[in-house]
């Protein structure tokens, strides 16, 4: 990520390189990794409801807390409030979280790491889209299906369905096919982190200081604390699962929030600044977290 940042700052790659590389990660490398991973695990391993409850519960709590804080302390349109809530809980599970989990935990972290990446994009991004569409279509016909259809037909989601279908059907995938997807999926970790660095190099950190400061604290401190309580005290997860859940909650805000903000032309500068600053600060907070968790 640091290498990508400096490459971007010194403009050693042409304009638009970050977008192209991010597109490769999202459309090619991540789906290939998901397909190769999920086709080799059981349905029960993926649908670990206690883990999903701990991780998803923390995300839902932070989304609601974020919207409440925005409603009373940083009032704005419903779109701005929903994007504020999304920024407070949307971890960079795809571009930073999954590479980090795979690096630290190896193959054992694949299933929980992928679950985190899917929940954020499959549940909470569409929820923010629904609220934004309600806001945008006040007084006119409400058409939420087009953006939702886009969210549910993204390549990583299709890869999840395909991988779980192969696993459930007990299909023995030929070795050349498996090797092909593993080679493409192997590019995910370095390309995702490098693309994140390129993106940060081109972002602005200007904006509402008080709101951005709150969002950074909510994302890097409050979110992992809530998830820690759910993982260790409520659902009593064992093994690496509670650690992975807390790590994913402690990740910086994810790039998709900025993409949605651009799409709706609301909350753009504040989401960009929160992503950049939370990512930079997370180098310290995540390192401290791994030390605290004994990793």
The residues, ordered by sequence, that sit 6+ positions from 191 with a Cβ below 8 Å of its Cβ are 21, 24, 25, 29
Distance (Å, whole) CA 134 – CA 122: 19
Domain ranges of the chain: 2-292
Which spans in 155-267 are helix H?
155-169, 175-186, 188-201, 209-217, 223-228, 241-249, 255-264
Nearest-angstrom CA–CA distance, 260 and 71: 19
Cα angle 99, 164, 20; round to 5: 40
112 and 251 in contact (C-beta within 8 Å)? no
Residue 138: the pLDDT is 66
What values do phi and psi take at 91, rounded to 5? -75, 150
- Give the pair of three-digit tokens for residue 33: 């990794």
Give, for all 295 residues of the chain, the pLDDT tens digit.
Answer: 788 889 988 989 887 787 788 788 878 888 888 888 777 777 877 788 999 999 999 999 999 999 999 999 998 899 999 999 999 999 988 778 888 888 888 888 888 988 888 888 778 877 887 888 777 776 556 565 666 666 677 787 788 888 888 888 888 888 898 899 989 988 877 887 787 778 777 766 665 689 999 999 999 999 999 999 999 999 999 999 999 999 999 999 987 787 778 778 888 788 888 988 898 899 899 989 888 877 6
Give the model's pLDDT for residue 188.
Answer: 78
Contact status, residue 244 vs residue 112, Cβ threshold 8 Å: yes
The yes or no reply on domain 2-292 and CATH 1.20.1530.20 is yes
Look up residue 261 and give its two tokens: 């903000």
Among 250, 215, 254, 214, CA closest to 231: 250
User: What's the pLDDT score for residue 60?
Assistant: 96
Residue 270: per-residue pLDDT: 86
């Amino acid at each position: 990520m640091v290498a990508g940042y400096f490459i971007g700052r010194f403009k050693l790659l042409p304009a638009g390189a970050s977008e192209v590389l991010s597109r490769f990660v999202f459309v090619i490398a991540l789906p290939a990794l998901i397909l190769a991973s999920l086709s080799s695990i059981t349905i029960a391993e993926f649908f670990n409801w206690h883990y999903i409850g701990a991780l998803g519960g923390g995300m839902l709590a932070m989304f609601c807390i974020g919207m409440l804080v925005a409603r009373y302390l940083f009032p704005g349109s419903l779109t701005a409030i929903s994007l504020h809530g999304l920024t407070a809980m949307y971890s960079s599970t795809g571009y930073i979280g999954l590479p980090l989990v795979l690096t630290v935990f190896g193959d054992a972290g694949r299933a929980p790491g992928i679950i985190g990446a899917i929940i954020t994009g499959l549940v909470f991004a569409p929820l923010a889209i629904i609220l934004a569409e309600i806001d945008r279509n006040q007084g006119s016909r409400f058409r939420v299906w087009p953006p939702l259809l886009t969210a549910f037909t993204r390549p990583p989601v299709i890869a999840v369905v395909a991988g779980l279908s192969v696993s459930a059907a007990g299909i023995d995938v030929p070795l050349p096919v498996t090797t092909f997807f593993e080679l493409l999926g192997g590019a995910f970790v370095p390309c995702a982190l490098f693309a994140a660095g390129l993106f940060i190099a081109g972002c602005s950190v200007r904006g509402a200081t008080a709101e951005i400061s709150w969002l950074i604290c909510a994302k890097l401190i409050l979110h992992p604390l809530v998830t820690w309580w759910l993982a260790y005290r409520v659902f009593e997860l064992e093994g690496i699962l509670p650690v992975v859940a807390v790590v994913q909650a402690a990740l910086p805000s994810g790039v998709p929030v900025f993409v949605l903000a651009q799409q709706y032309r609301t909350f753009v500068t504040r989401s960009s600044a929160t992503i950049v600053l939370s990512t930079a600060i997370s180098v310290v907070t995540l390192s401290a977290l791994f030390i605290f968790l004994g990793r």
